[in-house]
Amino acid sequence: MSFFKDFREFAVKGNMVDLAVGVIIGGAFGNVVNSIVTDLVMPIVGRLTPGSTDFSKHFWALSDKAQPGDTIAKLKADSIPVFAYGNFLTVTLNFLIVALCVFLLVKFINIARRAFEAEMLVLANQKAEEPSTPAPTEAPAPAPDIVLLTEIRDLLKQQAKG
């Protein structure tokens, strides 16, 4: 019964919502990275290599049945084995770009966290240096009319006694 209770608490606490948001943002981020690699990086890499500018089309057909103009899709449809190194390089480059972005994000978060902790330490030190209770000060001298009224009261008390 504890398992279901734990799962219900996990789902109700909002962790599922956080996870869903992370998956959606991750999917969108994956599309952005894929576009960067496919539309920006790979044409440059393809330009630097001999042949086509689309690097993902680089492959070796592993059969004598393949014809010189065949595409990867046609060879796969004909069940001809294909060593698609261009696609592998594209996926690897995608991974490296995602890893770099995540690394930079984590590095930025760590720098921001350290700066925040340092600022909190400075504020804590400043607070510790401030006196926690104000120093006792002397009561201000009473006004002259208050002094006169106090003397009159004391005289009246003495006369009443005797």
Q: How many CA atoms lie within 13 A of 113 on its CB side?
A: 6
- Within 8 A by CB and 6+ apart from 53, the residues are 43, 46, 47
Mean pLDDT of 149-154: 91
Q: Is residue 154 part of a domain?
A: no
Mean of all residue pLDDT scores within the chain: 80
Q: Which CATH number covers residue 22?
A: 1.10.1200.120
pLDDT digits 0-9 by tens, 15-45: 666 777 778 888 888 888 778 877 887 777 7
Q: What whole-number distance in Å separates Cα of residue 23 and Cα of residue 7?
A: 19
Q: Is residue 28 part of a domain?
A: yes
Q: Is residue 55 part of a domain?
A: yes
Q: What is the pLDDT at residue 112?
A: 92
- Number of domains the chain contains: 1
Q: Is residue 156 part of a domain?
A: no
pLDDT digits 0-9 by tens, 80-116: 888 888 888 877 877 787 778 778 878 998 899 999 9
pLDDT at 52 over 60: no
